[in-house]
């Protein structure tokens, strides 16, 4: 009897220590990464398989929750396209618009400055200033200067641009050759159209006795000068395509300005023609290409 009573007391004591029998709630820790009960079932299945000595043959796939979709992506976490594309477009589109607008403003400013130069040169004051500058350059500065300017003046011809494009193409730089020649051709065509529009007489036509003419007289009118426009357009676009360093491109721009001065030195253009040609060439170059630096 005593033994039976002690055994019964032990069972009652164990029953009181069990929280489930006393009405208390048991705190259960469940790992829920955010995808529902499916993962717990899969984990239990893998644990059971490991306890039984069998590996789970199914590959492990991480599930990435990106409301409102769950995207299985293996070990990578990706943003759904419907969420990423609006963000990317919101960043890229304004950038592209700014680039296009900035280029358009720059080209319009250069073209407007060129036209303003031509209009200013057609006024009485502009003609007087232009004539004084022309005489200061054209009067001659010795045989060495004559030979130098005669040697560089034809570097701005459209034929020189064609030859330079051929050299680039032969050297395997066809893209630079094609785009450079396209810019030179566009500058030449624009120059020919503006010559007819402004119809400014050449210096040797306006003052046959006061001009020192060192070359065969061209047939077209004076403003703008096509030689510096063609050369500057070509070297600017080709230089960008070739990825030339800044000092090299600056030197080529200096060469274009030298060709422009030579056109006044040999007696075929006023200084305003040269300035207008340089502005025109740069406007064409910036319209057809953009400096990535």
**Read out DSSP for 126-187?**
HHHHHHHHHHHHHT---HHHHHHHHHHGGGGSHHHHHHHHHHHHHTT-HHHHHHHHHHHHHH
Least Cα distance to 231 among 252, 210, 215 occurs for 252
| Residue labelled with tokens 């630079």 | 176
Angle at 267 between CA 225 and CA 260, to 5 degrees: 40
- Please say if the pLDDT value at position 268 is more than 50: yes
Burial of 229 (0-12, 13-18, 19+ CB in 10 A): buried
Give the Cα separation of 221 and 234 in Å (integer). Answer: 22
Dump pLDDT digits (tens) for 236-262.
Answer: 999 999 999 999 999 999 999 999 999
Task: Identify any residues that bridge with 69 across adjacent strands, giving them in sequence order.
Answer: 66
Task: Kindly report the pTM of this predicted structure.
Answer: 0.69
Q: 3-state secondary structure string, 216-285?
A: CCCCCCCCCCHHHHHHHHHHHHHHHHHCCCHHHHHHHHHHHHHHHHHHHHCCCCCHHHHHHHHHHHHHHH
- Please say if the pLDDT value at position 178 is more than 90: yes
Per the CB < 8 A criterion, the answer to whether 122 and 198 are in contact is yes
Give the Cα separation of 122 and 269 in Å (integer). Answer: 14
Domains of the chain: 85-288 (1.10.606.20)
Tokens at 245, concatenated: 């360093």
Give the Cα separation of 252 and 152 in Å (integer). Answer: 13
Per the CB < 8 A criterion, the answer to whether 61 and 72 are in contact is yes
Q: Give the DSSP H/E element, type plus range, for residue 74.
A: strand 69-74
Dump pLDDT digits (tens) for 108-148.
Answer: 999 999 999 999 999 999 999 999 999 999 998 899 999 99
Q: Rounded to the nearest 5°, which phi and psi values hold at 63?
A: -110, 125
pLDDT number for residue 100:
85
- Please say if the pLDDT value at position 55 is more than 60: no
- Please say if the pLDDT value at position 163 is more than 70: yes
SS3 label, residue 169: helix
SS3 label, residue 210: coil
């Amino acid at each position: 009897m005593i033994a039976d009573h002690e055994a019964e007391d032990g069972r009652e004591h164990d029953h009181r220590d069990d929280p489930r029998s006393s009405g208390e709630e048991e705190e259960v820790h469940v790992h829920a990464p955010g995808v529902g009960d499916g993962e717990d079932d899969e984990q239990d299945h893998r644990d059971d398989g490991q306890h039984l000595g069998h590996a789970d043959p199914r590959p492990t796939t991480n599930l990435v929750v990106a409301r409102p979709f769950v995207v299985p992506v293996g070990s990578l976490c990706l943003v759904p396209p419907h969420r990423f594309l609006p963000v990317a477009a919101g960043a890229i589109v304004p950038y592209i618009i700014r680039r296009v607008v900035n280029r358009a403003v720059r080209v319009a400013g250069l073209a407007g400055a060129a036209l303003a130069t031509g209009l200013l040169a057609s006024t009485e004051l502009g003609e007087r200033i232009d004539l004084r500058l022309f005489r200061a350059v054209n009067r001659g500065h010795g045989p060495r200067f004559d030979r130098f300017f005669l040697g560089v003046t034809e570097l701005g011809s459209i034929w020189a641009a064609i030859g330079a494009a051929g050299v680039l193409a032969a050297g395997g730089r066809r893209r630079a050759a094609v785009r450079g020649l396209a810019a030179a051709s566009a500058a030449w065509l624009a120059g020919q159209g503006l010559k007819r529009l402004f119809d400014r007489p050449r210096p040797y036509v306006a003052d046959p006795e006061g001009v020192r003419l060192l070359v065969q007289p061209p047939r077209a009118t004076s403003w703008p000068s096509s030689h510096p426009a063609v050369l500057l357009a070509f070297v600017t676009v080709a230089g960008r395509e070739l990825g030339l360093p800044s000092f090299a491109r600056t030197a080529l721009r200096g060469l274009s300005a030298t060709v422009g001065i030579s056109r006044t030195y040999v007696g075929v253009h006023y200084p305003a023609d040269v300035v207008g040609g340089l502005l025109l060439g740069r406007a064409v170059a910036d319209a057809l290409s953009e400096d990535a630096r």
